[in-house]
Structure 1
Amino acid sequence: MRITRRRLLATLIGAAAAIGVPSIWMSSMKTYDGPVSDHFDGLHFFDPDGAPPKSLAEVLRWQFGGGRQRFTWPDWVPSPYADTPPPQVDGAKVRFSFVGHASWLIQTAGLNILIDPVWSMRASPFSFAGPKRHNDPGIAFEKLPRIDIVLVSHGHYDHLDVATLSKLTAAFGPRIVTPLGNDVTMHEADAAIKAEAFDWHQRVELGNDLAVTLVPTRHWSARGLFDRNKALWASFVLETPAGKLYIVCDSGYGDGRHFRRVAEAHGPLRLAILPIGAYEPRWFMRDQHMNPEDAVKALADCGAEQALAHHHGTFQLTDEAIDAPAIALGEALDAAKVPREKFATLKPGQVFEI
């Protein structure tokens, strides 16, 4: 196959924007500067129980090697649902509205919390290249209630969208909680963003008897050629009146120890939000992204009573078909003899309540 310069450029931009392969553009952003720890060597963060990110040679092998099977998604796959959330949800009730990909609105105890909000058309630093939406956000931006808190898990473009964060800041001025170093990215883009950065295992009081703890997850981070793993990544344990919620925005499975440790340290868990998409080809993706079979094992490991699936159906980051994650999740649940209703797959705009 002849690799044209244009195709190579488009491929690398898309891979860098969506899955964190080091990008081809120069990164001049400031990065985190802090003390050495058991997961920071003074320059780079690392997961002692994880795996290093793939190399540029490996991404080229994936993109241009022989035998690749990539399913082409339809240009536009609208969801039949669209949510108009209430101004707030009080008491012990928790309302989950699926925005799309890894973005959620969680309403409980009078506070409105967004997870990894992305309202942009592309998960990319560019408007002309990179993974493009295949459906609208499940909540139109103008239909959002007042946003009090935003949790941003890491710096990949399908999770940290500075355009959306700036728009949220202008509209609501929310408090933004994120792992170490991602605040630098946000402040470099927009000094008005109220970003606060925390380390793994730090617990943050949010008000109204809500709190969040940042916990290790099997992933990594990059936004440019020279900032690989210079910002931290995390999952979240959100304490609510209805119980603890385990929010995993991006993670590989490994041997499951990350999930078992959360169960040991923070259980019992009322509900887990787990990723099920962006997993093919497995040789390339398995260290950083779970497939549905992995997600079912992660649910068993963390011991949550209920799970919601996400990280599928909005941005095509990898090679599987648009409906493959949901179909494979059902099959994996059946094989594990887990009732399908215990691990629900929503479409953008659908709502789940506990």
Structure 2
Amino acid sequence: MAKRISARNPYYTGPVTDHFDGVRFFNPDGVEPGTFRDLMRWQFGSDRRARWPKWRESPFRNPRPLERVNGSRLRVTMIGHASLMIQVAGLNILTDPVWSNRMSPVSFAGPKRVMAPGIPFEALPPIHLVIVTHNHYDHLDIATLKRLQRRDKPRFVTPLGNDRIIRKAIPDADVDVMDWGDRLEFSEALTLHAEPCHHWSARGTGDRRMALWAAFVLETPAGRIYHIGDTGFHRGINYRDAQRKYGDFRLAILPIGAYEPRWFMRGQHQNPEEAVEGMKLCHAAYAVGHHFGTVQLTNEPIDQPVADLMKALDEAGVERERFRALLPGETFDVPPID
């Protein structure tokens, strides 16, 4: 019989697998997140934290997005940080939506946004699907999910364990929960697959790695999309596996920020050079970068991710137009591919 976990995990009960030990999830052949001692070394050691501006306006704030796109069109609009709106096949999809002012368990402290959401909440078109990649507060924002539920009642898709967090706050939420390798037919126009990424999870001090994290592959009539909320590069393993399993991608949506200092962040956040290598390994025709410029989580200056991305693209011989670092409100109509 399959071993099952005890009540120590508040989010998930299930059999032991190659990425779940009966209590906690883990990255196969990967690294665990840093210890409390590592955190203290980072916070109080010699690594200097760049000073970000208190506020910055985006030139692309978008109060009138399109209601939907159809046919071969694929449109991505940056909301901010890891929140994007994907429009494809008549569907409006949000990833890790956060409209709150702080990405924190409390409203009066914690990381605070320095740029407004690229689309005002009230200007959003009807949202059909919300993808929540993992439970860190800069990705799973209950206040925003409640607003979306009241307004649109979308379907939520999230990895194992995160459904318990969402349903506790929103009992009537329509939540699909997925393990790595699972397939979900959302509609005739969209099939989702949950795939590994190299990260971790926690909502507090006692629940580390008790809910799963995941990347998602979206199969649509307009092409395949590979979306990763957060990941360490992990020697490119997951990128290679995704390409072998699904073939080439029209678009990859990849994190490019929150990567310094490298000794502490390498296992959980790839840097722009690694993101470019990931784009090449998964054979993405185009890429959109996220997880930068909205809220300061780590040491690098606010503009460093984009500068490092441009340098990495040039050194890799990849045209800059193929990997876009969108500012809040900026829209990218992804070119068709043969």
Length-normalised TM-score, structure 2: 0.94
Amino acid at match of 1:231: A
Q: State the distance in 2 between where 1:162 and 1:211 align.
A: 25
Question: What is the deviation of 1:353?
Answer: 1.1
Question: What is the deviation of 1:190?
Answer: 2.2
Contact 2:30 2:234 in 1 (8 A): yes
Q: What do the CA deviations read for 1:235-288 (whole angstroms, capped 9, x no partner)?
A: 010111111000011000021111110010011111101111000000000111
Alignment of 1:107-118 (within 5 A): 107-118=87-98
Query: Is it true that 1:76 corresponds to 2:50 in the alignment?
Result: no
1:29 to 1:99, Cα distance in 2 relative to 1, 3 A: farther
Match of 1:272 in 2: 252
Question: What is the deviation of 1:103?
Answer: 0.6
Question: What is the deviation of 1:30?
Answer: 3.0
Q: State the distance in 2 between where 1:208 and 1:95 align.
A: 19
Contact 2:9 2:23 in 1 (8 A): no
Match of 2:144 in 1: 164
Q: State the distance in 1 between where 2:205 and 2:186 align.
A: 34
Contact 2:73 2:88 in 1 (8 A): yes
Structure 1 counterpart SS, 2:281: helix
Give the RMSD, CA atoms, in angstroms: 1.2
Length-normalised TM-score, structure 1: 0.90
Match of 2:326 in 1: 346
Q: State the distance in 2 between where 1:206 and 1:72 align.
A: 43
Contact 2:133 2:158 in 1 (8 A): yes
Match of 2:65 in 1: 85
Q: What do the CA deviations read for 1:90-118 (whole angstroms, capped 9, x no partner)?
A: 22211111101011111111111111100
Alignment of 1:195-206 (within 5 A): 195-206=175-186
Question: What is the deviation of 1:192?
Answer: 2.4
Query: Is it true that 1:185 corresponds to 2:184 in the alignment?
Result: no
Structure 2 counterpart SS, 1:259: helix
Match of 1:141 in 2: 121
Residue segments in structure 1 that go unaligned for 5+ positions in a row: 1-27
Contact 1:30 1:188 in 2 (8 A): no
Question: What is the deviation of 1:29?
Answer: 8.8
Query: Is it true that 1:95 corresponds to 2:81 in the alignment?
Result: no
Match of 2:44 in 1: 64
Q: What do the CA deviations read for 1:54-89 (whole angstroms, capped 9, x no partner)?
A: 111100000001x22111100001101122212221
Residue segments in structure 2 that go unaligned for 5+ positions in a row: 1-7
Contact 2:89 2:222 in 1 (8 A): no
Match of 1:322 in 2: 302
Q: State the distance in 2 between where 1:344 and 1:146 align.
A: 25
Structure 1 counterpart SS, 2:167: helix
Following TM superposition, where does structure 1 have runs of at least 4 consecutive aligned residues deviating by more than 4 angstroms? none
Amino acid at match of 1:250: D
Number of residue equivalences: 326
Amino acid at match of 1:135: M
Match of 2:210 in 1: 230
Match of 2:5 in 1: none
Contact 1:111 1:208 in 2 (8 A): no
| Residue 109 (structure 2) aligned to one of 110, 129, 154 | 129
Alignment of 1:198-347 (within 5 A): 198-347=178-327
Amino acid at match of 1:36: V
